[in-house]
Each structure stands twice: as C-alpha cells, then as structure tokens.
Amino acid sequence: MATKRQRFLRILIPYFYLSPSIIFLILFTYWPVINSVYLSLFRHSVLNPIPIFTWLGNYESILKEEIFPTVLKNTLIYAIGTIPFTMFLAFSLAVLINEKIGWLRNIYRVSMFYPTMIPMAAAGMLAVWLFNPGIGLVNYYLGKLGLKGPQWLYSMEWALPAIMITAIWKNFGYFMILFLAGLQNINKELYESSELEGAGFFQKLRFITIPLLGPTTVFVIIVGVITSFQVFDLVHIMTQGGPADQTNVIVYFIYQYAFRFWDIGKASALTVLFLIGLLTFIIMLVRNIERKVHYEV
C-alpha cells in the first residue's frame, strides 16, 4: 500500500505537468489583465512620475477626449467593412474551388493563400507602393478606366478604405482555407442523393452547404472579430493614424498613449475599456449565432 506521502505526491503530479504553462499564463495573460485595471485607477505619466490615485479620473478624461469617438468609429467601420466582405469572398471562392475543377485547384489555392505567409507590416509596404497617388499601379489603372484616382493614404476619406482593402487582400485566403476545410468535412453522399432528386447548384448551396458550414462560420467570425478589432500593423506602416486621425483605431490609440505620450494610466484605462468591449462583442455574437447554427453534422 502506498504511504501517505506517496499518495500526496501522486495528487500533485498533474499540477506539476501544468505548472510551466500556468506560470506563464499568469505572468503574461491574467496578471496583466488585473494589473491594467489597477493601473487604470492611477494618474501615472511622464508628467506625474509618482502614481496618484484618481479613481475613475482616467476614464473620465478619455471620454472627454475629442478624438475618442473618431477612434471608435474608425475601429467599427474597419471591422464592419472588412469582416462580412472578406467572409463572403472567402466563402464563395471556397465553394468554387471545391467544385470538380481538376489540377488547377492547387494553383488557385496557393495564389490566394500566399498573403497569409506575408507579415502584415510587409503587406502594408506593398500597399503603400500600389496606392501611391502619383506613380502607384492602382491610380494608373483607374486612370485607364477614365477615373481620377483619389490621394488614397493622404486623403481624409480614402485612407481608411485603402487600409481595409489591404486587409481584405491579406486575409481572405486564410478564411477561404478555413471554409474549404469545413466543406471537405461535409458528407459527399448528401450531395449525391440530392443530385438524384434533381437539385441544382444553388439548391445544394442553400440546403446543404450553408447550413452545414454553421460551425465553421462561427469560428471564422470570431477569428475575424478578434483580429480586426486589434488592427495595428497596417495602420502603423501605412498612415500612423493620419491624416488627422482618420485612420486612428483603438489599439493604435492605446499604443500612442503608452509609447508616444508615456501616459500609463490612460493607456491602461483604454485597455480595460477595449477588453470589456471585445469580450462583450464576442459573447453577444456567440449567443446570437449559436441559436441559428446546427451543430450536429
């Protein structure tokens, strides 16, 4: 029989296996979350090197900040403008690539998926070059079509759309691969029997493909929301938030407060607001969609 000491050690074994991960999860995920709530209650910046307790003072001054509504608006426009369109594009292309189209399939997949391998920062540089108002390729071909191209990244109206177009180009291939994975999990017999019943392309799409892709779609939406609310690299490379904060988004705003103005208090308050917003959004989304999704295949 095992002694008391041996039994005690046996109970500890699982925690021993988990401890490396848990230590790092605490240090770099959970403690930072708690710490940002704590830090957000203090006035602490280059001007006030010694933290002063201010209760909700930082939140108050953020809400009074003139460009805060602009930042929120830009973030929402970016998310709402990119996620549905990217998903629609990715879904349609995945359905087409999944048809019986022969050896070209692989070339299509590679040519659409390769932007996933490129850093966002580099994608931003490619876009800066293509959207150059004077000698960029985009405006040259717009000119060929008889359109006068805008000033893109230097324009109040077109800078954010340029960033959004770049993000769609960078992301749709990844989403397409996720949809393709979902499509290949659908039982082929379903299609075969529906074809025997005389179902056409769009009927199969409507009654088999779309319902059965529910779980994949939920996953893609959540990935889309998490990544697009955190857009930073493209903004930093392409516009630095300009012109006149027309492309300033929430994470870039946090970055400016923390690492340009060194205002730790306000940056932390913004982080807290951001996390609350992000989590609420995801919970609402999951609740709303889950009701409409069939999980069993």
Partner 1 sequence: MKFKLTNIKNYFKRNLHRLAIHLLLTSVGILTVVPYFWSLSTSLKRREDVFTTPPRWFPIPPTIENYLEVFKLAPFGIYLVNTIIVVLGILLLQIFMATTAAYAFSRLNFKGKNFLFILFLIQMMLPVHAIIVPNYLMIKNLGVLNTRIAMMLPFFATGYGTFLLRQAFKQVPRDFEDAALIDGCSSPQIIINVLMPMAKATYVAFSLISIVTHWNDFFWPLVVTDTPQVRTLTVGLAMFVQQESGADWTLLMAATIFVTAPLLILFIVYQRKFIESFMSAGLKG
Least Å distance, CB 210 to partner 1, is 17
Q: Where are the beta strands (DSSP E) in 61-149?
A: none
Residue tagged 């900040």 (tokens): 65
Least Å distance, CB 24 to partner 1, is 4
> Which residues ranging from 32 to 91 are in contact with partner 1 (CB under 8 A)?
32-33, 35-36, 39
Among 174, 217, 246, 248, binds partner 1 (CB under 8 A): 174
Which residues, listed in sequence order, are joined to residue 45 by a DSSP beta bridge? Answer: 263
User: Does 233 interact with partner 1 (rule: CB under 8 A)?
Assistant: yes
Nearer to partner 1, 110 or 210 (CB): 110
Among 85, 108, 154, 191, binds partner 1 (CB under 8 A): 108
Angle subtended at Cα 29 by Cα 24 and Cα 31, rounded to the nearest 5 degrees: 90
Cβ contacts of 15-24, under 8 Å, gap ≥ 24: none
User: Does 135 interact with partner 1 (rule: CB under 8 A)?
Assistant: yes
Least Å distance, CB 20 to partner 1, is 5
Region binding partner 1 by CB under 8 A among candidate stretches 48-56, 189-197, 204-212, 232-240 = 232-240
Total of chain residues touching partner 1, rule CB under 8 A? 87
User: Does 204 interact with partner 1 (rule: CB under 8 A)?
Assistant: no
Least Å distance, CB 62 to partner 1, is 14
User: Does 154 interact with partner 1 (rule: CB under 8 A)?
Assistant: no
Residue tagged 């040519």 (tokens): 111
Cα 226 to chain centroid, rounded? 4
Question: Rounded to whole angstroms, what are the CA distances from 60 to 65, 78, 233, 250?
Answer: 9, 26, 28, 17
How far apart (Å, rounded) are the C-alpha atoms in residues 257 and 273?
A: 14
- Look up residue 120 and give its two tokens: 């966002």
Q: Which residue type does 3 have?
A: T
Least Å distance, CB 157 to partner 1, is 22
